Structure 1
Amino acid sequence: MPTALLSHETLLARITSREARVGVIGLGYVGLPLAITAARAGFAVTGFDIDPGKITAIEAGRSYIEAVPSDILAAEHRAGRFAATSDFSRLGACDIIAICVPTPLTRHRDPDMRYVEQTCRDIAATLRPGQLVVLESTTYPGTTDGLVRRTLEAGGLTSGTDFFLGFSPEREDPGNRQFQTSTIPKVVAGDGAAAQALVTAFYGAVVKTVVPVSSTATAEAVKLTENIFRAVNIALVNELKVVYEAMGIDIWEVIDAASSKPFGYMPFYPGPGLGGHCIPIDPFYLTWASRAHELPTRFIELAGEINSSMPRHVVGRLAEALDRRAGKALSRSKVLVIGLAYKKNVPDIRESPSLKLIELIEERGGAASYYDPHVPEIPPTREYGAFRGRPSVAWDEADIRAFDAILIATDHDDIDYAALAEWGALIVDTRNVFARRGIAADTILKA
């Protein structure tokens, strides 16, 4: 009997009996929830990360991801089902390895695959027959069958013969309490029939629903399509907002009324720009890959241009409002940005438009501060290193009244907007948060 078939059957049996050891590389917003979910499904899980702070937190039973409660993490750790390490030589002891590392863009909007490539080299150093390696990081179609497979096979083993390879895109939504890792349907694909069966069996043991597709490239395209759909539709309403604004029409009222149609319409909402680890980034992976086929991606690129222009549009509206309503130039004004996180009720600031808003205000000579109950100070970022360590202002009436304008960038639920309406001399609301709460004041301007 061929070695591949033997190892496939052996691993399949170990998955079924929960004897397979799982390794998760990258213990961030994707990796840590996956690791804990697999542990709670009965697997022994080892998490790998280069950040010693994460390892220390996990060893102490302390979660740094909102979607993973500390008590659950601590329970899995105490039970011996979950441990974390920065020793990548221990990858050889894992039967299944999930790659959950970042895939950002370069300054030129090209895929930055350094983290995936280095991770694959780390795996290749201990790769042994019978292991299953699954990439979860969002990427361009062809990555798993190209870069990942090529790097893993450099050590002499062959995918489908010695080890097994798959792709299953992450679908985490930070702050969304309606869904957990275990309840979000999981798209899965393998490099060959044996790998497909193994990937399907593993995720089928961890989550409620798996959705097999025919190839890893198809699975990679599924993830990109989901986020391109959102990016393009958000760009559409952002453009409509600017047009309707000039016509004196309230875009929020338009969307609410259009949403009453029970078919053929899905509401999307405008904002000060896009943030997060997916929607501002993922569409450009397809744009980059399409160049190899000499095909344009006009919708995607136009959507990117519109969404990227929104922070500058908002700051322009802010400057105009200061001039008309307060008789004061932005260059002589103090502005408080409400919300540093890219979406409400989370501490995640990755690609947050609030950072760009602060930068643009300061470029025009204004003094910018922020208030965010979820982000006590600005952590290290790739593009805004000068902001590192800047603290959130205190929630204090006297301090907030001292600002010339308040800019609502993120509509966290745990903010007293009625108090803000009373304290703010001028409020520019990009999220329609006051109208949604029935708070009216002459000082509030929608933008």
Structure 2
Amino acid sequence: MTQLTVQVSRRTPAGARCRVGVIGLGYAGLPQAVAFAEAGHPVIGVDNRPEVTAMLREGRSPVDTVSDDRVRRLGGALSALDDTEALADCSAVVVCVPTPVDAAGEPDLSALRAACATVAAHLRPGQLVVIESTVYPGVTDGVVRAVLERSGLVAGTHFSLAHVPERVDPGNPVFDSADTSRVIGGLTPVCALRAEELYGGVVSSVHITAGLREAEATKVLENTYRQVNLGLVHEFAAYCDALGIDAGAVIDAAATKPFGFQPFYPGVGVGGHCIPVDPLYLAHSARAAGTPLHLVELAQRINDERPVRVVDVCETLLRTTGTALAGAEVLVLGVSYKPDVSDVRNTPVVPLVRELTARGAQVRIHDPYVPELVVDGMHHKSVSHLGAVIAEADLVLVAQHHSVYDTEHLHRARLVYDPRRHA
């Protein structure tokens, strides 16, 4: 199949109105379900968490990136169900379940397998099945196809199968699901075109790849690119610190170049569902192919070690004031994995707090979006009266750059460490 980018208009959906089923109503699935419903498609939303479907039926959103008002405006266009029988009445079923890694850092496809088994139980001829969950190349045509074909129907003959990797960026004020181009790979050219007809009505443009594996590889490359560059700036920040250079100022200066450079900034680590996870899917696939990606695996290690490095710097800074880290009161500002959202999936603040605690620090946290962070069974509640707590702390560590953390607050601190500016 020739690769093709198609510009489309959301005013005139590419395909006719059809009933769409969406399995998984989290940070990726719910925005997509809402986008389909807003484009005029009746949507059946399914989630194995009853509290999620109950909230949606009450007109409340379970994720902070989709407002309650937006859900309520849909009226009956989005039906949130606990059972899956209605999937049989859908023309298309989109799977948006998590694909994390296990304790050993290997891909965990259990939720994806379960969701596909649910689809297979209700699969009928003529349906389109789309996998949005992030996977490594070969999963859609291998694991997914095998589970779906237990229905007795054959992919590419009796039903269409496509992979359309999600491109959700929670909290991004510029690009939402409708304004972000989508990549589509199909088992056959007809499968890809059917997916293009569905997504063409809800996104600005689509890019059809040569096949499923190219679409699968696109997503893991996108986030591996970010992982590797973050690993680079974390090492670069440590180098700058050794020379007394402001790493953030250097990155700002380099970013003035209008070509050939994209700024990445150091932090306390790497979080979210994508960047700490997707490169492991790629590394797993590369090892299986006999072509290990050493740079990717090294970047992963650098970023995994970053929280410990940050605590090392905290200890050094406190020592310059005559204070030991053991017994010191450290206030951690921001615990979500990115600014101005409540999402704490894989937040590096968890290993950061764990390391601070292990070295004897008295850790307090503040986050306007996260009322509590649980680390190893210990409940850290977000403090109130932020100004007073900042003034009391021996060290204020800016772990996340929420917009509320301005200089008016921070000037009261005895000692501030911002890893975005320094190592």
TM-score, L = length of structure 2: 0.94
Alpha-carbon separation, structure 1, partners of 2:386 and 2:200: 50
- The alpha-carbon distance between structure 1 residues 417 and 69, as it changes in their structure 2 partners (threshold 3 A), is same
Q: Percent identical across equivalent pairs? A: 42
User: Offset of 1:202 from its aligned partner?
Assistant: 0.5
Q: Does 1:55 align with 2:53?
A: yes
User: What letter is aligned with 1:369?
Assistant: R
1:191 Cα deviation (Å)? 0.9
What letter matches 2:415 in structure 1? L
The alpha carbon displacement at 1:152 in A equals: 0.5
Summarize the alignment of residues 127-276 of structure 1 with structure 2, pairs less than 5 Å apart. 127-276=123-272
Counterpart in 2 of 1:16? 15
Structure 2 match to 1:335: 330
Once residues 431 and 193 of structure 1 are traced to their aligned partners in structure 2, the CA distance between those partners, rounded to angstroms, is: 46
Other-structure match for 2:362: 367
Matched, 1:311 2:300: no
CA–CA distance in 2 between the matches of 1:303 and 1:47?
37
Structure 2 CA distance for aligned equivalents of residues 366 and 99 of structure 1: 44
Which of 428, 435, 443 is equivalent to 2:417?
428
Would you say the 8 A contact 1:371–1:395 is kept in 2? no
User: Of residues 337, 341, 344 in structure 2, which corresponds to 1:346?
Assistant: 341
Equivalent AA in structure 2 for residue 246 of structure 1: A
Which deviations, in whole Å up to 9, do the C-alpha atoms of 1:127-151 show, x marking residues without a partner? 1111111000111001100000000
Q: State the secondary structure of the residue aligned to 1:125.
A: helix
The Cα of 1:228 is off from its aligned counterpart by 0.9
Hey, what does 1:91 align to over in structure 2? 87
Matched with 2:64 is 66
C-alpha distance in 2 between matches for 1:321 and 1:378:
25
Q: Secondary structure at the match of 2:129?
A: strand
- 1:408 CA drift (Å): 0.5
Secondary structure at the aligned position of 1:390 is classed as strand
More helix as a share of residues: 1
Q: Is the 8 A contact 2:332 2:397 kept in 1?
A: yes
Please give the alpha-carbon distance, in whole angstroms, between the structure 1 residues aligned to 2:167 and 2:101: 19
Retained in 2: the 8 A contact 1:334–1:367?
A: yes
Return closer, same or farther for 1:385/1:363 CA change in 2, 3 Å cut-off. Answer: closer
Report the alpha carbon displacement of residue 385 of structure 1 after superposing the two structures with TM.
Answer: 5.1
Contact persistence 1:410–1:431 (CA under 8 A): no
Contact 1:377 1:391 in 2 (8 A): yes
What letter is aligned with 1:64?
P
Distance, in Å, in 2 between the alignment partners of 1:264 and 1:197 is 34
Which residue in the other structure is 1:386 paired with? Answer: 377
Choose from 350, 353, 372 the match for 1:355: 350
Q: CA deviation at 1:247?
A: 1.2
For residues 185 and 389 of structure 2, the distance between their equivalents in structure 1, rounded to whole angstroms, comes to 54
Tell me if the contact between 1:183 and 1:207 (Cα under 8 Å) persists in the aligned partners.
Answer: yes
**Which residue matches 2:292?**
296
Q: Per-residue deviation at 1:328?
A: 1.9
**1:155 partner amino acid:** S
- Amino acid of the structure 1 residue aligned with 2:417: V
Cα offsets for 1:288-337 (capped at 9, x unmatched): 01122211110100100111111000000101111121x22211111110
SS in 2 for 1:237: helix
Matching residue within 115, 125, 143 for 2:121: 125
Q: Which runs of 5+ in 2 are unaligned?
A: 1-12
Paired letter, 1:256: D
Structure 2 contact 390–409 (Cα < 8 Å) conserved? no
Classify the secondary structure of the residue corresponding to 2:373: coil
* Shift of residue 355, structure 1, vs aligned partner: 1.3
Give how far 1:257 is off: 1.6
Tell me the CA shift for residue 261 of structure 1: 2.2
Is the Cα contact below 8 Å between 2:335 and 2:400 reproduced in 1? yes
Query: What displacement does 1:90 show?
Result: 2.3
Q: Secondary structure at the match of 1:183?
A: coil
CA deviation after TM superposition for structure 1 residue 89, in Å: 2.5
Which whole-Å CA distance do the structure 1 matches of 2:90 and 2:320 have between them?
64
Q: Does the alignment pair 1:402 with 2:392?
A: yes
* Distance 1:264-1:41 versus aligned 2 partners, 3 A rule: same
Q: 1:107 aligned to 90, 97, 103, which one?
A: 103
Q: Indicate if the aligned counterparts of 2:31 and 2:66 stay in contact, CA closer than 8 A.
A: yes
Give me the whole-angstrom Cα distance separating, in 1, the residues matched to 2:88 and 2:376: 37
Q: CA deviation at 1:417?
A: 3.1
Task: Find out whether 1:43 has 2:33 as its counterpart.
Answer: no
1 CA distance for matches of 2:194 and 2:127?
10
The CA distance in 2 between the partners of 1:344 and 1:395, in whole Å, is 20
Taking the aligned partners of 1:98 and 1:141, their CA distance within structure 2 comes to 18
Give the whole-Å Cα distance in 2 for the aligned partners of 1:366 and 1:349: 22
User: Helix, strand or coil: the match of 1:310?
Assistant: helix
Q: What SS does the aligned partner of 1:335 have? A: strand
Runs (5+) with no aligned partner, structure 1: 1-13, 433-445
Report if the CA contact (8 A) 1:189-1:200 is conserved. no
| Higher RCO (Cα < 8 Å, 6 or more apart) | 2
Give the 3-state SS of the residue equivalent to 1:368 in structure 2.
strand
**Separation in 2, partners of 1:344, 1:257:** 23
In the alignment, the residues of structure 1 paired with residue 319 and residue 380 of structure 2 have an alpha-carbon distance, to the nearest angstrom, of 28
Which residue number in structure 2 is paired with residue 3 of structure 1?
none
Q: Displacement of 1:397 after TM fit?
A: 3.2
Aligned to 1:11: none
Relative to 1, partners in 2 of residues 1:69 and 1:429: Cα closer, same or farther, differing over 3 Å?
Answer: same
